[in-house]
Amino acid sequence: MDPQILAIMMVVSLFTLILLGVPVAFAIAGAGLLFGVIGVDLNLFNLLPSRIFGVLTNYTLLAIPLFVFMGILLEKSRLAEKMLDVLGLLSGKKPGGMAIAIIVVGILMGASTGIVGATVVTLTMIALPTLLKRNYSHSVSCGTICASGTLGQILPPSLVLILLADISGEAIGPLFAAALMPGLLLATCYIIYIILLSKFAPHHVPPIDEEERNTYSKKELWIEFFKSVAPPFLLIFAVLGSIIGGLAAPTEAASMGAIGALIIVFLSKRLSLEILKETLYETMKVTGMIMFVLIASQVFGLSFRGLDGDYLVEDLFDAIPGGMWGAILFMMLVLFILGFFLEWIEISYIVLPLVLPVFHALDVNMIWLGILIALNLQSSFLTPPFGWSLFFLKGVAPKEIKTMEIYKGVIPFIAIQIIVIALVMIFPEIALWLPKAIGWM
C-alpha cells in the first residue's frame, strides 16, 4: 500500500482513538507504532531512544514543573479567593464590577499558574456562588469565568508557549515577550465587553449592594489589597520581567518563582504540610502527563515521516490558493475546527509538527505565527461541545446552572477571541513590538 495512504490512515485512526476516549499518550504512541511497523519496519524505531533522551534532557522543559508548582501552590493556598473579594469590593457600586474583578484575578492567576483547569475550577468554586447570590445573569457569570480562566493559555509563563517554543525551535524569551501584549489586549477586550454590558444591560451585571460594601472601610480594603493582591502581582512581574528582560533563562526564573510562591504563602500564614503535599502531588501529575505525551509524540513523528507524511502535508499546502496568507488562514481554520473536539496538547503534538515545516519554508515569522497559534488554541477551551473550560465549570457548578446557559455565555467571548486573532494577524506589531523593543529580534 502507498505509504502516504498509510500516513492518512494513521492520522484518522489517532483521532478515532482519542474520540473513543483512549488516553492521549497511548493513542499517539499506539497509532505510531502500529502504522510504523506496517508501513516501514521495526528498524524505523532505532532512532527512538535518542529522541526520547533529547526530550528528557531538554533543559528548557525543566521550567514546566517549576511553573506548575508555583501556580498550584498559589491556588491551593486560596490566595485567589481573597484577591477576588478585595478587587470586587474595590469596584464599589459600579455594575459589572465583580465580573471585571474576576477577569483581573484571571489575569493574575493565568500569569501564575498557566493551567486552565486549576484556574477555571478555582474561579468557579470561589466566584460563581457569589455572582449568583448577587443576581448576576447565569450565562454572563459562566462566560466570564470560563473566558477569564483561559487567559493562562496566552499570558506568559503559559505551558502552551513553553511547548510551542519546543515544537517550533524558537527561544522562549521572545515568545513570552510577544504574547504579553496580545494577552493583555484580549483581557482588555473582555473588560470592555463587561463595561458595555453594564451600560446597555445592567440587570445582567448588578452592583454589589451597599451593606456588603460597608463591611470594609476604604483604608482596610487598600491594606488587604497590598497584603493579598500586590505580592502575587510583584512575583509575576519579577519572574516575567527577568525572562523578557534577558536577566534570567526561563528555567532559572521559574525556580525563583517557585521559591517566591513559597515565601508569599508562608508569609500569608497559609502554608501547611497538607497544602505542600497536595501541591507536589498535582505538580507531579500534570508534569507526568505532559512529558508522557511528549515522549509518545516522538513515536508518532517518526512513523509519520517514515511514511512520507511530511511530503503529503507539503503537497496539501501547495494546493491551497493564496500563497502564504492562504496557508496561514487554512491552518488557523483547521486548528479552530479541531478545537471543537480535541485538547490543545493533542493539537500541538499531532498537527503542529506536521505543518510548521511548511511555514519555515515560506519564511514566515515564527514568533508571530506562534502567537496566532496560541490564541487559536486558547479558543479550543471555550468552543462547544468539548471545550474543556466548559467541562471544568459544569463539573463544580451548582445544579441550577444549565449546560445551554454555559454555551450561551461563552459565545461573546469566542467572538472577542476571533476579533483579537484577526487584529494580531492584520497588525503583526501587536505581537512583535515588545520583542523588537527589547532587542530579541
Give the C-alpha distances (Å, rounded to integers) separating 27 from 16, 78, 137, 165, 300: 9, 36, 40, 24, 10
Predicted confidence at residue 426, as pLDDT, reads: 94
Q: Would you state the cell numbers that stand for residue 291, as one nine-digit string? A: 512529558
Side-chain half-sphere CA neighbours of 97 within 13 A: 17
Query: Which grid cell sits at 53?
Result: 533522551
Output the pLDDT for position 369: 93
CB-CB contact of 346 with 372 (8 Å): no
Residue 49 is which amino acid?
A: P
**Integer Cα distance of 112 and 158 in angstroms:** 9
- Sign of the torsion angle spanned by Cα atoms 300, 304, 306, 310: negative
Distance of CA 241 to CAs 157, 249, 293, 312, 313, Å? 11, 11, 30, 42, 38
Pairwise CA distance, residues 129 & 136, whole Å = 10
| Distance from C-alpha of 301 to C-alpha of 343, rounded to nearest angstrom | 18
Render each residue's pLDDT in the chain as its tens digit; 441 residues: 678 788 888 888 887 887 787 877 888 888 888 888 888 777 778 878 887 887 788 777 787 788 778 777 877 777 766 777 777 777 767 788 888 888 888 887 776 655 666 677 767 777 787 788 778 888 888 898 888 888 878 888 777 888 888 888 888 888 988 998 999 999 999 999 999 998 888 888 887 766 666 666 777 778 878 887 788 778 877 877 777 777 777 778 878 888 888 888 888 888 888 888 988 988 888 788 778 877 887 888 788 778 877 777 777 777 888 888 998 999 898 888 877 766 677 778 778 888 888 888 888 899 999 999 999 988 887 887 667 677 777 777 777 888 888 888 899 999 999 999 999 999 999 999 988 888 776
* Separation CA 240–CA 402 (nearest Å): 38
* pLDDT of the residue at 412: 93
User: What integer pLDDT is reported at residue 423 of this predicted model?
Assistant: 96
Note the pLDDT of residue 157: 76
239: Cβ–Cβ under 8 A, 6 or more apart, which residues? 70, 157, 253, 254, 256, 257, 260
Distance between CA atoms of residues 110 and 120, nearest Å: 10
Q: Are 177 and 434 in contact (CB under 8 A)?
A: yes
User: Which class for 17: exposed (0-12), middle (13-18), buried (19 or more C-beta within 10 A)?
Assistant: middle
Q: What is the pLDDT of residue 418?
A: 93
Q: Which three cell numbers stand for residue 44?
A: 524505523
| DSSP line for 119-186 | HHHHHHHHHHHHHHHTT--HHHHHHHHHHHHGGGGTSSS-HHHHHHHHHHT--HHHHHHHHHHHHHHH
b/e per residue, 281-307, with b = 16+ CB within 10 A?
ebbeebbeebbbbbbbbbbbbbbbbbb
Distance CA 302, CA 335 (A): 22
The torsion of the CA quartet 249, 255, 257, 263, rounded to 10 degrees, works out to: -150
With contact defined as beta carbons under 8 Å apart, do 28 and 297 qualify?
A: yes
